[in-house]
Amino acid sequence: MRFVVYGAGAVGGTLAGLLADAGYEVRLVARGAHLAVIRRDGLRVLSPAGSRTYRLPATDAPGDLDWRPGDVVLLGVKGAQTSAAVRALAACADSGTPVVCVQNGVANERTALRRFADVYGVCVMFPATHVTPGVVVAHCAPVPGILDIGRYPHGVDGTAEAIAEAFRAATFHSVLRPDVMRWKYRKLLTNLSNAVEAVCGRLPAGAEVVARLRAEGEAVLRAAGIAFASESEDAERRGDILRRQPVEGQSRDGSSSWQSLARGTGSVETDYLNGEIVLLGRLHGVPTPVNAHAQRVANAHARAGARPGTRSLAEFMAGV
């Protein structure tokens, strides 16, 4: 089994390095300055254990890869980039190539299933950071993250087990989840606060806006008849597995949305987090004013090229 990691950011890049450590052959698809540094200096993965540099073949065009039977795609791009990534993959990879969505949000798997027959969802619990080109940071040890996997839309099979085994060999916790989307919808609810955190910085414990965002989300999912894991199930799964430890010279200042603003990408993934709740609310007649507001404000903040954490919570919530 060879892995093609499409999107070598915080999650994809760290996962690629650890899979290589476990003896798996890995190829990267990356872009821009990040790709340039990887090609020149290698991919540097920082962790509580220290620093390692990986010289992995990398390209910005999946058609450049020598595709083989048994290749598995690990899709690590943001939700807004999934459609383009899947189109690029479909132009060069066999339609039977397994595509594994190691991503936040719940729309990626459906997009991949339009072009590929074997699609897998992963519920990602993995504190990692990518701000500097060529560098990714894993913040937990000895287990860097939890990557539970299942087929989309439901079920498990031998391929899912083989991928879970590879994740475990790379020191992750990974179990098979025939209902993996139920867990990904819980993660979606957790990620609804990313937009506020990205714009305002870390939120105070028990922030009212977080409760309002998630209450809207739960109401929408219930109206849509979509099952989601409970908070208690999520807490039990996490347990004390993810132990954050210092990484020399590094801090984890925010979520993936915060990191997008820090890199000045001009966009955040809020359309596929808060925007998913807004979409479902409109489809099922459930008001979602707080999520719609968070989506608008975060997108405007990103388009303006503003730095993360530069507005007060009161400024963010004005007009809700």
What does the pLDDT average to over 5-33? 97
Q: What percent of the chain has pLDDT over 70?
A: 99
Point out which residues pair with 25 in neighbouring strands: 2
* Predicted local confidence at residue 320, as pLDDT: 83
List, for residues 255-291, the tens digit of each pLDDT value. Answer: 889 899 999 989 999 999 999 999 999 999 999 999 9
Burial zone of 221 (CB within 10 Å; 0-12 exposed, 13-18 middle, 19+ buried): buried
Residue 29 makes CB contacts below 8 A (sequence gap 6+) with 4, 5, 6, 7, 8, 58, 59, 60, 61, 62, 65, 85
**Residue tagged 């993995």 (tokens):** 126
What structural domains and CATH numbers belong to the chain? Answer: 2-178 (3.40.50.720), 184-317 (1.10.1040.10)
The pTM for the full model equals 0.95
Q: Does residue 313 contact residue 196 with C-beta atoms inside 8 Å?
A: yes
* Predicted local confidence at residue 254, as pLDDT: 84
**Count of other CB atoms within 10 angstroms of residue 236:** 10
Q: Which two tokens stand for residue 238?
A: 């996490």
pLDDT class of 206 with cuts at 50, 70, 90: low
What does the pLDDT average to over 283-302? 97
Q: Does residue 93 contact residue 73 with C-beta atoms inside 8 Å?
A: yes
Point out which residues pair with 5 in neighbouring strands: 28, 74
Give the residue from 242, 20, 241 showing the smallest Cα distance to 138.
242
State the Cα–Cα distance between residues 78 and 277, nearest whole angstrom.
17
* Angular region, 28: left φ>0, alpha ψ -120 to 50, beta rest: beta
Give the residue from 33, 94, 39, 103 showing the smallest Cα distance to 62.
94
- Rg of the chain (C-alpha set): 19
List, for residues 38-91, the tens digit of each pLDDT value. Answer: 999 999 999 999 999 999 999 999 999 999 999 999 999 999 999 999 999 999
What does the pLDDT average to over 25-35? 97
Q: Does residue 194 contact residue 140 with C-beta atoms inside 8 Å?
A: no
The answer to whether the Cα torsion of 193, 271, 212, 126 is positive or negative is negative
Q: DSSP letters along 266-312, please?
A: S--GGGGTHHHHHHHHHHHT---HHHHHHHHHHHHHHHTTPPTT-S-
What does the pLDDT average to over 224-245? 97
List, for residues 79-114, the tens digit of each pLDDT value. Answer: 999 999 999 999 999 999 999 999 999 999 999 999
| Residue 251 pLDDT exceeds 80 | no
Q: What is the mean pLDDT of the chain?
A: 95
List strands edge to edge, sheet with 58-59.
58-59, 25-29, 2-6, 71-75, 99-101, 119-125, 146-151
List, for residues 155-190, the tens digit of each pLDDT value. Answer: 999 999 999 999 999 999 999 999 999 999 999 999
Q: Which two tokens stand for residue 208?
A: 């009212």
pLDDT class of 309 with cuts at 50, 70, 90: very high
What does the pLDDT average to over 232-248? 95
pLDDT class of 248 with cuts at 50, 70, 90: confident
